[in-house]
A and B are shown apart, each in its own frame.
Chain A
């Protein structure tokens, strides 16, 4: 496999944006391209991730392309998935040897509707969607099953929330952050038992962009390239009643294939939208209690759907580039109850 590095990353998250998707995206792409030290026209491939259902109309990515710029015509593709999978497609394209660099971007404006309800449209359209089970309710069912199976408690969940919110204080892109007392959190009412508000993600509108460069060129462009040492993604079956919701076999498999256990993990950025997701993922990926998770605050503190997975990879890369760790695990997921998972291992030069 060719060595591919993340040479630049930029993001934007806000609790509620007045700007449209293209207006949010444009400055983020500009920033990532400028930081890569490559000219836009020198970046050989472009791939993006987004979902039409967030925008409420088809071809969200077509209008984004107009904003991002594609003249003269470019080699370009789009996944209707979190931007982490756009990164995967770009990595594959670089592996074919056809290109040496790629611009990856993703965007999602969740404030246009009730996002937890919109996500019911991802379920079985013949039998389940009509019941409109919102994302928080489904996560509540999973959390209840997980607590019963694992013997963990609501306090463990609250501790994940308190730690994440505390970590988010140093992240200018987190929309929820602060110091919270676990006892006080536990005194709050349930949103979807056993989940309270702090167990559920802070929804946000956002965009993310990243530039990938292969081999020696990456070393010329940045002081400390962050190399993608392994990347893999897997999916579990969709029917909520057909799988054990307390585990994430696809995350475990992706972690094994990405080579997580081939070295020490200094920290991990996990796309854990709910507090119990972090605990399930730690188990699946094989991260001991000593491994710091989500030093950025994570998706719990800024859930810009479609870009939050790519943000986890970008946040991990930023930290490594700054010298705060040499080897990290970054994770993205989509689908209800951690159905689909992508794991990548990042290493500093």
Chain B
């Protein structure tokens, strides 16, 4: 019988283009100490550390967790490093949760990070696939054709992406940790920003950030005694699919649909839009909010854009999405998935401050990675499941 798991501590660093005030150990320690402080615990209370980040080429350090071990208080403890491309922040947390679920550990520290200023993300992301030409256009170059395909299929109005970006950038002004806080943001500023990868404009794209996010997980009895109300893990799911094969729909990937269905089934959720209060989902380019609304079953196929258009996903809408400002506002790539989880958990704990959704009881954390191939999800609840 699987054990219950609660999130008892959450810590984030300030996200920024260059955190030159800290080294890599300093960066991860900042998030870890904040999570421990939130849980009123110390490193000595932690049984194991599960750490995640995206490709090691982002910092130019091979298997950097070996170097970070003592900064994370892991000496003499198990330390596991997860890497599942952009979804890694989510899957790292899922692996950490499984250590509690399986009854192997009482308390686990899980942390995801990236210090992108140590290297160059465009280079770090460039793959030389066999028998084809390297694109060297970063993630935007890869995802733009998928977005164009979505627009063609759905007939979505062309300003859908701008509206999403505006919503997220306004939300970011309420989040003290956000990297991009653009005070004078408005529709025209985004619409007039340079077109990077048609139809993705500069201000519809995520930044490159330095940052880390940490969570302290505890088994049921310890979570119940936590000083601050825990966020209970109600369900987790992960699915992967291949990058290249002819039958694949990369716009609305089967792996994402399956992971969502699995998640709702485990939680006994029949109508996700009604039964889930808000969501933090992985939207590195504005249009992905509309696309993922469909993939996650919150909107019928080809109608995800309507949720954006009608304001449903705004902070005061009936289904708020990316209340923190999302990946569009802070993107320390390896951390981004865990930030989604942490922000969802903060909502059900009532910790989200200015970007809190009133009375949020059930929140979704979501991450994806690779060429829309890797999906990690978690449902957090204010009440014990």
B67 and A124: CB pair below 8 A?
A: yes
B224 within 8 A of A: no
Separation of A97 and B103 alpha carbons in the complex (Å): 11
A77 and B84: CB pair below 8 A?
A: yes
Main DSSP-derived SS at the A contact region: mixed
A77 and B91: CB pair below 8 A?
A: yes
A79 and B83: CB pair below 8 A?
A: yes
Separation of A20 and B130 alpha carbons in the complex (Å): 9
Question: Tally of A-B residue pairs with Cβ under 8 A?
Answer: 189
A73 and B70: CB pair below 8 A?
A: no
Interface string of A38-71 (1 = CB under 8 A from B): 0000000010000111000111011101100111
A-B contact pairs, 10 of them (CB 8 A): A53-B56, A63-B243, A66-B243, A70-B240, A72-B241, A75-B238, A121-B62, A129-B61, A232-B78, A236-B69
Given A73-B239, A80-B63, A237-B70, answer yes or no on A59-B2 (Cβ-Cβ < 8 Å). Answer: no
Question: Can you name the residue of chain A whose Cβ is closest to the Cβ of B51?
Answer: A80
A98 within 8 A of B: yes
- In-complex Cβ contact of A118 among B62, B83, B104, B244 (8 A): B62
Interface size class of B (residues with CB under 8 A): 35 or more
Write out the residue numbers on chain A whose beta carbons fall within 8 Å of the beta carbon of B239.
73-76
Separation of A96 and B374 alpha carbons in the complex (Å): 21
Write out the residue numbers on chain A whose beta carbons fall within 8 Å of the beta carbon of B120.
none
- In-complex Cβ contact of A121 among B24, B61, B94, B101 (8 A): B61
A122 and B63: CB pair below 8 A?
A: yes
Given A71-B245, A335-B66, answer yes or no on A76-B240 (Cβ-Cβ < 8 Å). Answer: yes
Interface string of A313-347 (1 = CB under 8 A from B): 00000000000000000000011100110000000
Beyond contacts A59-B370, A235-B79: 8 other A-B pairs, Cβ-Cβ < 8 A, are A72-B241, A79-B80, A80-B81, A92-B99, A92-B102, A125-B59, A125-B60, A126-B23
Nearest CB on B from A114, distance (A): 13
- In-complex Cβ contact of B240 among A20, A73, A79, A339 (8 A): A73
Write out the residue numbers on chain B whose beta carbons fall within 8 Å of the beta carbon of A62.
85, 127, 243, 370-371, 373
A95 within 8 A of B: yes
> Footprint of A on B, CB under 8 Å?
1-2, 23-24, 54-57, 59-64, 66-70, 74-85, 91, 94-95, 98-99, 101-104, 118, 124-130, 238-245, 247-248, 253-255, 258-259, 370-371, 373-374
B77 and A78: CB pair below 8 A?
A: no
Q: Which 4 A-B pairs have the closest CB atoms?
A: A58-B55, A95-B102, A73-B255, A76-B240
B240 and A235: CB pair below 8 A?
A: no
Separation of A293 and B332 alpha carbons in the complex (Å): 45
B76 and A76: CB pair below 8 A?
A: no
A27 within 8 A of B: no
Given A80-B81, A85-B80, answer yes or no on A65-B242 (Cβ-Cβ < 8 Å). Answer: yes
B59 and A78: CB pair below 8 A?
A: no
Interface size class of A (residues with CB under 8 A): 35 or more
Separation of A221 and B75 alpha carbons in the complex (Å): 40
B242 and A122: CB pair below 8 A?
A: no
Question: Can you name the residue of chain B whose Cβ is closest to the Cβ of A46?
Answer: B240
Which chain A residues numbered 220 to 244 have a C-beta less than 8 Å away from chain B? 232-239, 242
B57 and A52: CB pair below 8 A?
A: yes
A250 within 8 A of B: yes
A123 within 8 A of B: yes
Separation of A53 and B64 alpha carbons in the complex (Å): 11
A57 and B127: CB pair below 8 A?
A: yes
Given A77-B238, A119-B62, A335-B66, answer yes or no on A92-B104 (Cβ-Cβ < 8 Å). Answer: yes
Write out the residue numbers on chain B whose beta carbons fall within 8 Å of the beta carbon of A129.
61
A302 within 8 A of B: no
Write out the residue numbers on chain B whose beta carbons fall within 8 Å of the beta carbon of A66.
242-245
A93 and B98: CB pair below 8 A?
A: yes
B255 and A89: CB pair below 8 A?
A: no
B127 and A58: CB pair below 8 A?
A: yes
Write out the residue numbers on chain B whose beta carbons fall within 8 Å of the beta carbon of A95.
98, 102-104
B95 and A234: CB pair below 8 A?
A: no
Question: Can you name the residue of chain A whose Cβ is closest to the Cβ of B92?
Answer: A77
B95 and A57: CB pair below 8 A?
A: no
B67 and A72: CB pair below 8 A?
A: no
Separation of A332 and B99 alpha carbons in the complex (Å): 20
- In-complex Cβ contact of A81 among B2, B80, B253 (8 A): B80
Separation of A250 and B245 alpha carbons in the complex (Å): 44
Question: Can you name the residue of chain A whose Cβ is closest to the Cβ of B123?
Answer: A58
